[in-house]
A and B are shown apart, each in its own frame.
Chain A
């Protein structure tokens, strides 16, 4: 899935969650925007304005509105794999509009796509790019990101839900685990980069290390080793 479409779907899921939490009637429509929407096409923007209007109405009527943090876990999980974007400078690679057309011709060099307000999507970059060799682990976005087998992000969420064993201790929070997806899809080098507690960390590592083989990332059509980061969310019902 292209990154823009992935973002579009994630934002739609956030909108849905806002609507459900606040009892707002909302039927997200399939985004038919041509090209890579990234949640910025007029139809998607209109849905945000609709929700804002509905929330305002509820506030005016003195009804409680829940918003802060309600989709925190969703954004983190949906963003998995985008955690580490190749950033060799203080900023992220951006491109002036006049260079965009040229850059789109060298999309194989791109490490990231960006959306600039009121401008067409930008594809970067020309001076630095991932290279493929046996040893290198690509630390960021590759042309074809690795996918969890049987349905990508949704299947990964399902796997987590089914297999997570809550530690005995009362614990809530997100353990962030980073790992490498090898060229054959196997997992290696899993480590906790944001800890919640010893028990929760242990369980998060167990889940990651027991995952089935992934569909590996590809660069120039060839499988590559890719670094990946996912949050494992512990939430008490």
Chain B
């Protein structure tokens, strides 16, 4: 089993989780966000390399000392890492149990893919975008239904504490009032960790 990657970024300090982490960015994404920074994850030529779970685990082992000493580990992002949930499960079985595993996902995938990785993941960073279905569709080109189903899935399993929800202000797509409304909807599901920030768009895009 091999998965396509667009990058491996080492030595990230408290950026995506506690301690020193390595980001593994997967190729492929079901969404087409207007302001996406990693457009190569949509394009066939965007693949940097393919790796088996064993190869990836071995490669990340070179920072094992840093991970253990700082309580860090690996952040799986992309692209959409849950397109490779089987790969992730195998990879996590090969990692030392002390590593923390963080997942950055849009959750716009079938629920069984999320369910498969639940035993492996310590914390989830979810890019919600906006909870308004029209805004979501206009900005991402995707249907919000899988995201909603997966958020309910996490809430039903009382995993809210292990989830950080990203709520951006997206120029030309949502307003601060939309974002507030999104947060209220998510709070109703029991989520409490929110990361609110603003997209800042250059003239070029």
B113 touches A (CB below 8 Å):
no
> In the complex, what residues of A have CB within 8 A of residue B199's CB?
88, 128
Stretch of A73-81, A160-168, A202-210 that contacts chain B: A73-81
> In the complex, what residues of B have CB within 8 A of residue A67's CB?
65, 68-69
> In the complex, what residues of A have CB within 8 A of residue B71's CB?
68-69, 72, 75
**A75/B70 in contact, CB under 8 A:** yes
CB distance from B63 to the nearest CB of A (A): 8
**B202/A116 in contact, CB under 8 A:** no
CB distance from A55 to the nearest CB of B (A): 8
> In the complex, what residues of B have CB within 8 A of residue A79's CB?
13-15
Contact status of A7 and B13, CB under 8 A, knowing A75-B18, A93-B38: yes
**B14/A75 in contact, CB under 8 A:** yes
**B10/A117 in contact, CB under 8 A:** yes
Contact status of A96 and B204, CB under 8 A, knowing A82-B14, A117-B59, A139-B198: no
B23 touches A (CB below 8 Å):
yes
Within 8 A of A (CB), among B157-198: 166, 168, 195, 197-198
A129 and B202 CA atoms in complex are apart in Å by 6
CB distance from A95 to the nearest CB of B (A): 8
**B202/A109 in contact, CB under 8 A:** yes
B77 touches A (CB below 8 Å):
yes
Contact status of A75 and B197, CB under 8 A, knowing A39-B11, A88-B37, A125-B37: no
Stretch of B28-36, B86-94, B115-123, B148-156 that contacts chain A: B28-36
A87 and B78 CA atoms in complex are apart in Å by 11
> In the complex, what residues of B have CB within 8 A of residue A235's CB?
none
Q: Which of A7, A82, A114, A130 contacts B7 (CB 8 A)?
A: A114
Q: Mark B106-140, 1 if CB is under 8 A from A, else 0.
A: 10000000000000000000010000000000000
A197 touches B (CB below 8 Å):
no
B197, closest chain A residue (CB): A139
A170 and B149 CA atoms in complex are apart in Å by 42
User: How many residues belonging to A are interface residues under a CB distance threshold of 8 Å?
Assistant: 61
A130 and B197 CA atoms in complex are apart in Å by 12
User: How many residues belonging to B are interface residues under a CB distance threshold of 8 Å?
Assistant: 61
CB distance from A186 to the nearest CB of B (A): 22
Contact status of A128 and B105, CB under 8 A, knowing A75-B14, A117-B59: no
B25 touches A (CB below 8 Å):
yes
CB distance from A17 to the nearest CB of B (A): 7
**A84/B197 in contact, CB under 8 A:** yes
Q: Mark B48-82, 1 if CB is under 8 A from A, else 0.
A: 10000000000100111110111110000111110
Contact status of A128 and B205, CB under 8 A, knowing A75-B20, A82-B15, A90-B105: yes
Q: Which of B18, B168, B200 contacts A136 (CB 8 A)?
A: B200
**A68/B7 in contact, CB under 8 A:** no
A70, A94, A114, A126 interface centre (most CB from chain B within 10 Å): A94
Q: Which of B38, B46, B201 contacts A89 (CB 8 A)?
A: B38
Contact status of A96 and B48, CB under 8 A, knowing A75-B70, A117-B59: yes
Contact status of A115 and B13, CB under 8 A, knowing A68-B98, A90-B77: no
CB distance from A111 to the nearest CB of B (A): 9
> In the complex, what residues of A have CB within 8 A of residue B78's CB?
90-91
Q: Which of A14, A80, A89 contacts B37 (CB 8 A)?
A: A89
**A14/B69 in contact, CB under 8 A:** yes
Q: A91-B23, A116-B7, A139-B197 are in contact. List 5 more A-B contacts (CB 8 A).
A: A69-B68, A79-B14, A90-B127, A91-B104, A128-B201
The 3 A-B residue pairs with the shortest CB-CB distance in the complex, in nearest-first order: A79-B13, A79-B14, A93-B37
| B residues lining the A interface (CB < 8 Å) | 6-16, 18-20, 23, 25, 29, 31, 33, 35-41, 45-46, 48, 59, 62-66, 68-72, 77-81, 98, 104-106, 127, 166, 168, 195, 197-202, 204-205
Q: List 13 A-B contacts (CB under 8 A).
A: A48-B65, A72-B71, A76-B18, A83-B15, A86-B200, A88-B37, A90-B29, A90-B106, A91-B78, A92-B25, A92-B77, A114-B7, A124-B37
